[in-house]
């Protein structure tokens, strides 16, 4: 068992390397880590009391997951029994990845190693996106499932992370250059995905990070000028992205935007009919297409509301919405109180980016991207624990 435990950092490194480029590989790494976790518990390498510092976040997760199961049963359990359905019912076990990091990683150097592995994985995605753009693809995607939402979420989680690492005060110069290059290259790739809701969410979060970390008005102004110059050069070199950007100033001209307004109206109708319990977890797609889709809707095969908050209210009722907002609201509150530590700032920024993007998309539905989120969350929780040993609790 001790030999296996010594190998766990290597498994985490492999998980990080595959997280952005191979769904099966990353999923199997997580499965192996969970098996080791339960073996550690069986052989008393740690006890459940060791999880006491995580009590509050675990209670919130447990309440959230319990309500989803209740909603699933109340709604008639219409989701076909499959691996994906099982993950949906427990609102996927990936939320507990942070516990794996907390129990198995004890040294900060391994946390840094996993972040570097995630950065390299993201750069491989960047190259793939650049290749697609060079082939004339209007909206390139990352490797995972070829989904715009999935791709955008990966970048919303990791771009704030690498910007914060670049601006970290005590980081050595070589590391700053390394993280900075990952950030700049990945930012260019992210822009090419051409997902406007994600653009707006990231712009808000990156502006916040720059103001919060730099503080000095002169430095903030210099950063703004650099961003404007680099952004202008990029838009000149990428006409498709420039054309996509201009639609932000006339959003109703785009069918995808007008369709979202229609989908939100449909969700509001579903909420009006089922305000307390919703239509049942996993049932919204069928209810929408059979009952709530509006006559003027042109995209007839949508499966969600394109808004994470409306989705949870329409599907799991008011308690589901409250529990969802309570879980991630608590994460925002807890991490904001620790934002002076760069680990706390990473959690806050990545979570805020996802919550903002959730206004225009059903973000939490993405297993692959959320797997990366909970890995980064775990890295930062352990990093905070190692740097704030006193009075640590989540």
DSSP letters spanning 87-107: HHHTT-GGGGHHHHHHHH---
What does the domain layout of the chain look like in residue ranges? Answer: 2-250+308-387
Q: What six digits make up the tokens of 303? A: 């499966």
Residue 169 has φ and ψ, to the nearest 5°, of: -65, -40
pLDDT for 230 equals: 65
Helix (H) or strand (E) holding 178: helix 173-192
pLDDT for 89 equals: 52
Is the pTM here over 0.85, yes or no? yes
Q: What is the pLDDT of residues 196-229, one digit of tens each?
A: 888 889 989 998 998 887 777 766 777 667 766 6
pLDDT for 27 equals: 87
pLDDT for 287 equals: 85
Is residue 142 within 8 A of residue 151, CB to CB? The reply is: yes
pLDDT for 345 equals: 96
Is residue 206 within 8 A of residue 178, CB to CB? The reply is: no
Q: What is the pLDDT of residues 41-87, one digit of tens each?
A: 888 877 778 788 888 999 999 899 889 888 888 877 655 554 455 55
- What residue ranges of the chain have pLDDT lower than 70? 2, 77-92, 145-146, 169, 171, 218-219, 223-224, 227-257, 299-300, 365-366, 389-391
CA distance 203 to 218: 20
**For residue 238, how many other CB atoms are within 10 A of its CB?**
17
pLDDT for 100 equals: 92
Sign of the four-CA dihedral 127, 174, 166, 383: positive
* Nearest to 68, CA basis, from 57, 80, 52, 79: 79
Residue 34 has φ and ψ, to the nearest 5°, of: -65, -40
pLDDT for 146 equals: 61
CA distance 11 to 29: 7
């Amino acid at each position: 068992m001790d030999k296996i435990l010594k190998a766990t950092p290597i498994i985490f490194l492999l998980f990080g390397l595959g997280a952005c480029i191979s769904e099966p590989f990353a999923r199997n790494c997580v499965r192996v880590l969970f098996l080791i976790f339960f073996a550690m518990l069986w052989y008393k390498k740690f006890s459940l009391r060791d999880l006491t510092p995580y009590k509050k976040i675990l209670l919130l997760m447990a309440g959230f997951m319990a309500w989803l199961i209740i909603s699933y049963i109340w709604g008639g359990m219409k989701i076909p029994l499959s691996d994906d359905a099982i993950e949906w019912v427990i609102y996927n076990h990936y939320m507990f990845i942070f516990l794996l990091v907390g129990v198995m990683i004890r040294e900060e150097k391994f946390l840094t190693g996993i972040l570097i592995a995630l950065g390299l994985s993201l750069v491989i995605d960047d190259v793939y996106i650049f290749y697609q753009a060079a082939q004339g693809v209007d909206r390139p995607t990352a490797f995972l499932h070829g989904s715009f939402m999935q791709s955008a979420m990966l970048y919303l989680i990791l771009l704030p992370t690498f910007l914060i690492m670049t601006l970290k005060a005590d980081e050595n110069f070589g590391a700053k250059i390394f993280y900075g290059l990952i950030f700049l290259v990945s930012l260019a790739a992210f822009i090419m995905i051409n997902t406007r809701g994600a653009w707006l969410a990231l712009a808000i979060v990156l502006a916040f990070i720059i103001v919060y970390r730099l503080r000095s008005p002169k430095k903030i102004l210099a950063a703004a000028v650099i961003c404007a110059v680099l952004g202008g050069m990029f838009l000149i070199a990428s006409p498709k992205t420039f054309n996509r950007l201009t639609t932000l100033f006339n959003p109703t001209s785009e069918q995808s935007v007008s369709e979202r307004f229609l989908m939100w109206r449909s969700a509001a109708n579903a909420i009006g009919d089922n305000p307390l319990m919703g239509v049942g977890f996993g049932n919204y797609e069928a209810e929408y297409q059979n009952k709530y889709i509006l006559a003027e809707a042109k995209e007839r095969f949508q499966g969600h509301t394109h808004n994470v908050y409306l989705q949870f209210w329409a599907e799991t009722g008011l308690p589901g919405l409250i529990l969802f907002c309570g879980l991630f609201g608590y994460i925002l509150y807890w991490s904001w109180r620790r934002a002076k530590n760069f680990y706390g700032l990473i959690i806050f920024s990545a979570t805020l980016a996802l919550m903002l993007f959730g206004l225009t998309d059903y973000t939490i539905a993405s297993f692959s991207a959320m797997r990366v989120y909970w890995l980064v969350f775990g890295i930062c929780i352990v990093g905070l624990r190692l740097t704030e040993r006193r009075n640590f609790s989540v």
